[in-house]
């Protein structure tokens, strides 16, 4: 019968070197502190990014809807209008049979409410209009391709921008902060 004898080696070469032992508790705590500070900085800036994102989204939406309304009026030979009311806006269509303005409820022209803190203000030339029995919208988008020249200011807590119309379907955003105190 064979017997095996093993020997436990207590050689100094098997000991861990001081630099290979791992991290100390203090080093781990310092890293965790740095990570938590960086996370706090990122999380605190997120609300500003969200506010800016909703403002930019509404800017793009307004310009896109105005362009679509212009194209729809020309291609379908209908008279459309744009109204701001309260904290929102709507598009309307002139009904020749009923001689009145009807709010468009279908997408993409359905009435919309602005996000909290946003405000629209409309500036046009004072031109009296007498189409139909009820009051016409301030901005007319005609089937001929003409649009009432206007300045539509979108404001929020961080600033404002102005959507301008040249009268022939060109819509552009200008910097709305110029000339403000």
Closest CA relative to residue 147, chosen from 160, 155, 138, 156: 138
Per residue in 111-163, pLDDT (tens digit) is 988 888 888 888 887 554 444 445 778 888 888 888 888 888 888 877 788 88
Task: Give residue limits of the domains in the chain.
Answer: 46-175
pLDDT in tens, the chain (181 residues): 666 655 555 555 555 565 566 788 898 999 999 999 888 887 776 655 555 577 788 888 888 898 899 999 999 999 999 988 768 899 999 988 888 888 889 888 899 888 888 888 888 875 544 444 457 788 888 888 888 888 888 888 777 888 888 887 688 888 655 444 3
In terms of CATH, what superfamily is 46-175?
Answer: minor pseudopilin epsh domain (3.55.40.10)
Q: pTM of the entire structure? A: 0.64
């Amino acid at each position: 019968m064979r017997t095996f004898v093993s020997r436990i080696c207590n050689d100094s070469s098997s000991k861990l070197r001081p630099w290979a032992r791992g991290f100390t508790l203090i080093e781990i705590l310092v890293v965790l502190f740095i990570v938590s500070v960086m996370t706090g900085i990122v999380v605190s800036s997120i609300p500003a990014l969200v506010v800016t994102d909703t403002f930019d989204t509404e800017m793009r939406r307004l310009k896109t809807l105005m362009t679509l309304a212009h194209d729809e009026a020309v291609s379908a030979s209908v008279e459309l209008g744009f109204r701001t009311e309260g904290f929102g806006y709507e598009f309307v269509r002139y009904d020749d049979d009923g001689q009145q303005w009807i709010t468009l409820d279908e997408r993409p022209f359905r009435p919309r409410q602005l996000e909290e803190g946003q405000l629209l203000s409309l500036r046009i030339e004072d031109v009296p209009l007498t189409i139909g029995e009820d009051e016409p919208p301030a901005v007319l988008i005609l089937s001929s391709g003409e649009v009432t020249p206007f300045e539509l200011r979108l404001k929020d807590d961080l600033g404002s921008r102005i959507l301008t119309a040249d009268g022939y379907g060109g819509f552009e955003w200008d910097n709305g902060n110029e000339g403000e105190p």
